Each structure stands twice: as structure tokens, then as C-alpha cells.
Structure 1
Amino acid sequence: MKAAAPLPLKELNQKLLISRWLTLGSYFALLAILLAGIVIYPLPEGARLWIILPVLWLPLLVFLPGILKRNPRTHAWLCFVCLVYFMQGVTTFIVPGKAGIGALQALITVVLFSAAMMYGRWRGMELRGAWTN
């Protein structure tokens, strides 16, 4: 794979800041939309919120320490997990009466995927010293 061309430090820092905030915002928005989907739409009879919510949140919460530590590898792995939530959002979108929350989940997941991928790339460049003055 061809190495990325070095970026000016000011431009790299600006890209890192924007992608960092987009990653954090969409990460917590995805957690919120998953909770909202459970709260707004009734659960099947016999289902327990305290069981379903950890099953939905745990794959995302595993990445929280690495995201807060700004680890580029964690951001890359988060992209793979996001694909599952994208599929869930698209599947929810075709369920009658749940199109809005499904579309919103899919959209948030696309933003999270893109922002985390770019943050991981740019943070890796920063850590390798692939920037110019």
C-alpha cells in the first residue's frame, strides 16, 4: 500500500479535530438512537430492557476506552463493528412504522464509519510524524 503524502501540520490538526468531534458525536448518537428504539417502540412480551440494552450497547462500549485514548487502531476496528449497526438500521428501515428510526440509525452509522476511518488514518499519520511544517 502506498503511504499517504505528508500534510501540513495545521491542516492535519484541523482534520483531526473535525473527525474527532464527528466520531464522538456520532458514537454517542448511535448509543442514544439504540436506546430510543427500545424506549419508543414496545418490546416483545417477555423481553427485558436490562438484557436487550447491554446486547445492543456492549459491542460499542468495548471501544470506548480506545476512542477516549485516541488510539487509531481502535477507530479502525470500530469501523468494522459499525457495519453491523448499519445493517440493523437498514433492516429496521423497511419495517412498517419504524422507517424514521431505521434511516436515522443508518445515517448516524455512516457518519461514524467515515469519521472514525478518517480519524484513524490521520491520527496514524500524526503518530508516524508524516506531516510537514
Structure 2
Amino acid sequence: MNQAVQYKLKMALTINWFCYIGLLVLFAVWNLFLEGGSIPLWCIQTLPLLLVLPGLMQQRYRSYLWLCFILLLYITTGIVDVMMPTRGWQDGAMLVLSLILFFSAMMSSRWHRLQ
């Protein structure tokens, strides 16, 4: 495989894990430690992300594609929540992390297939 593609894949995987863990930590802080959060909401927010975790750990490119589909829900929710007058910093952080993770997961799946 081309050295440039290997470097891009390595960088994308690093960004994937940073944003993936960032989203999970954000949901935990948001629902378990801040006012207005709840454990059932935390479960609803984290369960879809955890469904693809085994495939991500095995670096299967289809898991990255499924992650992109799942992230579309988070992106849509984030855009709606950011536009609300009652928005908080969590809404913006969720949107930014979701968008970065979406793009890096999409490119990771592409670069995985080039192997």
C-alpha cells in the first residue's frame, strides 16, 4: 500500500478514536454529572455507538460505514439542538465531535478498502 495512504489511515484512525471516546465521555458527563441528565437518556445516547465498537476494534471497514449511518442521527439532533434558544455547550460539542467523527470514519472506510 502507498505510504501516503497508510499515513492518512493512521491519522484518520487516531481522529476516530479521539472523537468516539470524546462523544462517550460527553454523554456520560452530560447525563450523569450535570443537572437535567438521566441514566435512561444516557443509555439511549450511548447504545448505538457501542453497537459498532467490536467492529471498530477489529478495524473492519463496514463498521466504519455503519458508524457513519449512526452518526447521521447525532448530527441531525445536534443541528436542531444548537439552533434552540436553550442550547448549551454540550450541544455544540456533540455536533462538532459527530461531524469530525463522521468525516474521519467515512475516509477511514475508504482507505481501509485500499489495503
Distance 1:78 1:65 in 2: 12
Q: Does 1:89 align with 2:78?
A: yes
Provide the TM-score with structure 2 as the length reference: 0.90
Displacement over 6 Å in runs of 4+: none
Distance 2:111 2:95 in 1: 24
Distance 1:37 1:94 in 2: 18
Q: Hey, what does 2:94 align to over in structure 1? A: 105
Q: Hey, what does 2:30 align to over in structure 1? A: 37
Distance 2:78 2:70 in 1: 13
Q: How far did residue 55 of structure 1 move?
A: 1.3
**Matched residues, percent identical?**
25
Instruction: Give the gaps of 5 or more residues in structure 1.
Output: 1-7, 127-133
Distance 2:44 2:66 in 1: 18
Secondary structure class of the residue paired with 1:82: helix
What root-mean-square deviation, in Å, do the aligned CA atoms of Structure 1 and Structure 2 show?
A: 1.5
Provide the TM-score with structure 1 as the length reference: 0.78
Query: Aligned partner of 1:58: which letter?
Result: L
Q: Hey, what does 1:19 align to over in structure 2? A: 12
Instruction: Give the gaps of 5 or more residues in structure 2.
Output: none
Q: How far did residue 97 of structure 1 move?
A: 4.0
Higher percent of residues as helix: 2
Tell me which structure has the larger Cα radius of gyration. 1
